[in-house]
Homo-oligomer: A and B are copies of this chain.
Amino acid sequence: MIRVGIVGISGYSGFTALKILLNHPDVRLNYVSANTTTGFLADIWPQFRGRTPLFCESFDADKAAELCDVVFLAVPHTVSMEITPKLLKRKIRVIDLSGDYRLNSASVYKKWYGKNHTDSRRLGKAVYGLPEIYKAAIARADLIANPGCYPTAALLALAPLVSLKNHAIRTIIIDAKSGVSGAGKKVSGALMFSEVNESLKAYKLFAHQHTPEMEQYLSSMAQRDIRITFTPHLIPMTIGIYETIYVEFQKHEAASGLNALYRKFYKTEPFVRVLPKGTLPEVKNIAGTNFCDIGINYDRTRNLAIITAAIDNLVKGAAGQAVQNMNLMFGRPETTGLY
């Protein structure tokens, strides 16, 4: 059994990690903590009443180290970089769901997250936990930077193109739509039911902190500098991310070639489903699952591919992917506990 801890259980990613890990056949969930909330887990998340006697306490690195082989950090950014060094020092593996270790550069971190990075020497050393791309490295990693929700869908949707059609790409526009849980559980007037329901808006144009994450990993896959335009929108639903990605090529591509390319690229991946021609993803088809559904359309008159991708932002976009990474790190089949 893998002995697991979760730090930061009061948010939606922590909640989803709990749901998955309590049902995982190879996991013993030994430790849960949260910053401001302590008490029986069942009182914090009444959904788990009767399921577990776990008690949530304030974080204690020694205790976590004693009880766990791996710890999920489902905490806000800036908290991870305080906790991670303490756990790694105690030889505990860490899967960090925050943005703290995804970027390579302290100055880029400062620019987009607005804070100085206090563990900057580890930047660039964590393994980016996108198993479809970095599987081998994940299996050996001590520190996983679990991808952001928007980047997960975008990178899976674009990886075949930037890896293999890279030279031919002219521009990439990512029009992303997210359910409200993506904004977290922090109380906010703008996220009250009466403000979100029956409405819709774009937000953080040119300013979302997931932009440099996408650009860094796309550039790394492409082995050249890739820039994107990323426009997130808030949608009146709780769960789900849908990205409509417009890729303009320098010259004409064969549409059938694109389909074959994607099919081949993801042939052995259990959680990426390249949809049949003419079929588009829908959020309901991936809700509650670790799947990423990808649809491929091509307008030959404009050399324009429209790649659509849908994920559950809390599963494949956060806790499910974290468990997928854990499975790889501990030599389990990738799908254990996720089907």
Residues of A in contact with B (beta carbons under 8 Å apart): 12, 22-23, 25, 46-47, 49-51, 171, 173, 175, 177, 179-181, 185, 187-189, 191-203, 205-206, 227, 229, 231, 233, 235-240, 242, 244, 246, 248, 270, 273, 275, 279-289, 291, 293, 295, 297, 299, 301-302, 304, 306, 308, 310, 339
Contact = CB atoms under 8 A, between A and B. Distances in A.
B187 A308 contact: no
A207 to B, nearest CB: 10
Nearest to A282: B201
A25 B337 CA distance: 11
A192 B192 CA distance: 4
A274 to B, nearest CB: 10
Contacts of A23: 339
A4 B102 CA distance: 45
Contact of A282 (B46, B50, B287, B310): B46
A270 B188 CA distance: 33
A292 to B, nearest CB: 11
Give how many copies assemble into the complex.
4
A302 to B, nearest CB: 6
A49 B244 CA distance: 21
A302 B237 contact: no
Given A201-B280, A284-B199, A302-B171, A297 B237 contact: no
Residue of A173, A199, A246 ringed by the most chain B CB atoms within 10 A: A199
Contacts of A339: 22-23, 51
B302 A227 contact: yes
Contact of A200 (B240, B289, B306): B240
Nearest to A45: B285
9 contacts: A46-B293, A171-B248, A180-B192, A185-B194, A193-B195, A199-B237, A199-B284, A200-B237, A231-B306
Contacts of A206: 297, 299
A323 to B, nearest CB: 15
Nearest to A201: B282
Contacts of A199: 237, 240, 282-284, 287
Given A25-B25, A181-B194, A198-B240, 7 more contacts: A173-B173, A179-B198, A187-B192, A199-B283, A201-B281, A202-B244, A231-B306
